[in-house]
Structures are given as structure tokens and as C-alpha cells.
Chain A
Amino acid sequence: MATVSEFRICPTTGLKVHSAAEKLIKANAVVAVVFLAIGGLFGLMVALTRWQAVHLLPADWFYLALTAHGFDVLLAWIIFFEIAVLYFASAILLNCRLAAPKVAWAAFWLMLIGALVANVAVLQGGSSVMFTSYVPMKAAPHFYLGLILFAVGALLGVAVFFGTLVIAKEEKTYEGSLPLVTFGAVTAAIIAVYTIASGAIILIPTFLWSIGLVSHIDTLMYKLVWWGMGHSSQQINVSAHVAVWYAIAALVLGAKPISEKVSRLAFLFYILFLQLASAHHLLAEPGLSAEWKVFNTSYAMYLAVLGSMIHGMTVPGSIEAAQRARGFNNGLFQWLRKAPWGNPAFSGMFLSLVMFGFIGGISGVVLGTEQINVMMHNTLYVPGHFHGTVVAGTTLAFMAITYLLVPLIFRREVMFPKLAKIQPYLFGLGVLGISVFMMGAGTLGVARRHWDMNFADAALTFDYPPAAFLMMALNGLSAVMAATGGLIFIVVVVGSVLFGKKVEGKIDLTGGAAVAKYGSAGTLKIPGTAVLVAVFFTCFVLYYFVNWKYLSELWPLR
């Protein structure tokens, strides 16, 4: 049993904070941010290379940097931060001690060592295989070993999370059901188990193959199982950042879910179906039947998309309800105009929500449509799409909640408040550009992971249309903007954590005015959200059918 002295009471939220949990959250979050800095730098270099007029890196360095970028941001930054989110959503929100802190530290070190080993392997130059490492292209054995150590560590972290849930229940540290945010974290953790299991099933034989103990890895089988990890890990991100949206809406605005039942059902759809979408990556593959492709790529008849569309309404809806209860009742959108746009936690969260829906979400469904995929597979449309999900969506949401973790967990004031205030806008706008311009270039056929769209050294030459070069230049400019936003984030966070003024006593997250009681189903009024959702739906339907129109003009294929 933990003794009382291992806890402090948070003066702002009244939650009991377990000091071991707090230390682990700090460690994981700090390492995450460091990897974001490293990976973001690689991303900038990649983007500046693809800007043909700048063409920064030579070919071998470009492929190396792209491999490092993928690994450091997609795996290291995101998953370290997610482990922090899991500990926060379990130990802190449930007023509970963290299960087995020693195991949690072992998890931390395994992940860190694994990530460093993989980085060393990539930087040594012999493992520029992209983070997907499709066989039979071979990386150095320690590349796979690093990934495996990282995954084992992450699995331990997930186990600690589940252990904490058990303790909280046994020790009755909360009453009734789990808070919705914790339930979202449960969703993420469940998906993580499948993700990591898939990773182990495929990476361990691949490692053995790289040291000569296994003679052959089937390329299709590799892709099938690898994407069980690769895509599902994106679904961990979705679940985690949706949980973060709910958490920020609650902490900053005192918003409460408009319906526990509907929001939890939406998470249940994630648990059951989200991972099927790993098939998005196999739509252009030989040998898999149309039945398998259609069923899996549609998450079993789009039930997981339904989940996302629900969250896309209930999060802004809960914000609108909370704002209206505060008295911002004029017209359709006063609640939105009077939202705390100067608070980077809120603005980051709202931008994340909007861009994830409009950019990442819509493009993802279109890209994942069985037939339409043939016009986009492996073009820049793909990275365009997922910078809309995992950067505009997840990364921005995680940045936003960091602005709350700094005062609540690190107990430091956020330094450079003026910079912090503009940071989400700068980063958000930059990422919007990266996403849209890469998607545009992809529509024009430009290949992803490609050093030279001029084909200068190719025996048979080809010219992409001039518009494609323009897109890549705009992409480069947007990358500079996003990188600036990223740098400001790093400076503000690292500065605050190291040198920020210590926070004493209660802090004001909500900007005053506690929320009045509101919202039973009968009286709920969220007309503004209804309009936003209608606009979203119209865009979705139009964009979806426009792409079918394009498809119908393609050369016949069967």
C-alpha cells in the first residue's frame, strides 16, 4: 500500500496525485518532447529537400533523414507521450497510486534504449529502410532490435496502466464508472495491446532473418502483420487525442460530455473496429480479395468512422453547452467567439479537432475507399493525409495538453506567454499547409519517399506538371512555418520546465466563472455545433463523390 506521504493534493483540481506517477509522467513527457524536436528537424530537412528549388540534402541523406523522421516522430514522440497520458488518465484522474512504479521505470528505460539503438542504427547509414522496413530490403539487426525493445517497453507501460485500473477499483479510489477521459485511455490501451502483439509477431522473425537465422520472410505476410502494428498505432493516437480533447474541454471550460452513453459507445466502436483499417495499406496489394479489402478498409461498414463523427460533434457540443451555461447565448456562434482563443491549451485543442475532422478525417476515408485508393496509393497524398491526422490532430492535441501539464504536473508557470499564445496557430497553419500541399501534389501523381521529382539521373525522363513543383515549394514554406511553431513549443516547454516560476496554490485554468449546472437531454441547445457539423458533412459528401467522379475517368481496370 502506498503511504499518504507519497501523495499530494492538487490545489486546483482537488485530485490526489501520486508522486511516483507524477515523476513517470514527467520523464515520459520530457523524452517525448525531445524526440519531437529531433524528428521535427529531420522533417524540416526532408521537406526542404522535396522543395525542388532548394533540394537541401543529397539522396542518401534524404532517405536516411526520412527514416529517422518517421521513427522519431511517429513512434518515439507519440508513444512516449501516450504512456504519459495513460499514467495521467489512470493514476491521477482516479486518485490512485500507480501500479508497480518499478515496472513503469523499466518500461521507460526499455523504450528509451530501444529508441536510441534504432536511431543509432539509422544514423550509421545502413538502415535507411524507412520506418516500415518492408522486406526483403534489409536493415542492420540492431535496427529491428531497437524497435523490439521499444515495443516491449511500451507493452509494459500499458500493463502498468491496466494494473492501475485494477488497484483503483479494489481500493475504491473512485465511485461508479471510469471518467470518460480514462475510458478513452482504456480504448487507446486496448488498441495498443493488439498493435504491439502484431509488432512482436512480425519484428521478431524479421530480426532473426536479419541475423541469418530465418531464411525467408514472405513480403505480403510481412505487410499484413506489420500494418496490424503500423496502422493500429495510429488508432491508439486517435483514441488518445480524442480523450485529450475531452480532458482539455473539461479542464479549461468545465465542459461535461453531452451524453456519457453516446460518447462511450463511440469509443466502443473504436475498440471493436478501428484496427481493421490496417487494410488501408493493402488496397493496392496482390492476392487479397475484394471482400477482405472492402470489409476491413471500411472498419466493418464504417462503424469506427461513425465513432469519430460522434466525437466530432460531442466535443464541440459539450464546449458550446458549457459556454452557453456561462451566458454566451447570443446567436449561433457567440459561444465560439467568446471561447478562450488566447489560451494555447484551448486553441490548440480546437484547431486539432477541426483539422483532424476536415483534413485528416475526410481525406482518410476517401483514401481508404477500396477503388479510389488506386489513384493515391504511395503518392504524396498519403503523407498529406496523415500529417492531417497525426500532426494536426494528435501532435497538436498533445501540445495543447502540455500547456496544462506544465502548471499541473510540473508545477511551473508557462514562460513566454505571448509566444505560447501564437504557437498553436503558427504550427497549425504550417501543418495545414503541409497536409494540403502534399495532398495536392499527390493528386498530381508525385511519388512519396522520392528524392528527385525531376528524374535528372533517370534513363527515361519524365516531367510532372509545373503545378506539382509549385505545390512542393508551398509545402516547403509551410514546413518552415510548422517547424517554427514546433521550435517555439519546444522552447516554451523546455524553458518553463527548467526555469519557469514555481506554481504555488490554486491556478486558474478556466479563466474565471465556474460553469453553472446545465444540460439534461431535454434542454440541451447546441445549434452552433449543429451548423458546424452540417458544414462538415456537406464537405465530406462533396469531396467523397468528386473523387468517385475522378475515378470514373481513369483507365478501365479489372
Chain B
Amino acid sequence: MASPNKPGDDERVPFMQRLLDNPFLLLFLGVASPAVLYTIWGIMEIIQIPIAK
């Protein structure tokens, strides 16, 4: 439970915590990362396979 009256309560939430508390931003990152690094990069490589002489 979040205890309301601790010191530093009005302190800004650190960036990383805000990131981890935002499921939709994480959703975007979690789809974009493999889509670019695995799928799109992979498709580019397959497309570039040359034709046999």
C-alpha cells in the first residue's frame, strides 16, 4: 500500500518509474522493438538474397 505521509511524498516520480507505470507506452516499445529489429530487418535480408547465375 502507498503510505500517504512519508517524507518526499510530493517528490516527482522518477522517469523510469513513470515509464514502467505506463502500460501503453510499454506496449508500443514492446511491439516496435521486435518489429524493427527482428521482422523488418529480417525481411530486408530475405528480399536482398541475389538470384542464382
Contacts and interface: CB of A to CB of B under 8 A. Distances in A.
Q: When A and B assemble into the complex, do they touch directly, with CB atoms less than 8 Å apart?
A: yes
Given A193-B27, A287-B46, 4 more contacts: A165-B23, A178-B23, A272-B30, A276-B33
A225 B42 CA distance: 9
A292 B42 contact: yes
Contacts, number: 92
Interface residues of A, number: 42
Q: Most A CB atoms within 10 A — which of B1, B2, B26, B46? A: B46
A70 B5 CA distance: 54
B40 to A, nearest CB: 10
25 contacts: A175-B2, A178-B23, A186-B23, A193-B30, A194-B34, A197-B31, A220-B46, A224-B39, A228-B38, A232-B34, A265-B16, A268-B19, A271-B26, A271-B33, A272-B30, A273-B33, A276-B34, A276-B37, A276-B38, A286-B49, A288-B42, A289-B45, A292-B45, A296-B37, A296-B42
B20 A264 contact: yes
A250 interface: no
Nearest to B42: A224
A175 B34 contact: no
B29 A198 contact: no
B41 to A, nearest CB: 6
Nearest to A270: B30
Contacts of B21: 177-178
Interface of B: 1-2, 16-17, 19-21, 23-24, 26-27, 29-31, 33-35, 37-39, 41-43, 45-46, 49
Contact of B20 (A194, A218, A268): A268
Given A176-B2, A193-B31, A186 B26 contact: yes
Contacts of A272: 29-30, 33
Interface string A278-289: 110010001111
A343 interface: no
B23 to A, nearest CB: 5
Q: Decide if the interface of chain A is mainly helix, strand, loop or mixed.
A: helix
A133 B30 CA distance: 27
Nearest to A178: B21
Q: Most A CB atoms within 10 A — which of B1, B27, B38, B41? A: B38
Contacts of B35: 194
A177 B17 contact: yes
Contacts of B1: 175-176
B36 to A, nearest CB: 10
A190 interface: yes
A225 B2 contact: no
B21 to A, nearest CB: 5
Contacts of A278: 34, 38
A279 B19 CA distance: 28
Contacts of B17: 177
Contacts of A275: 30, 33-34, 38
A21 B49 CA distance: 50
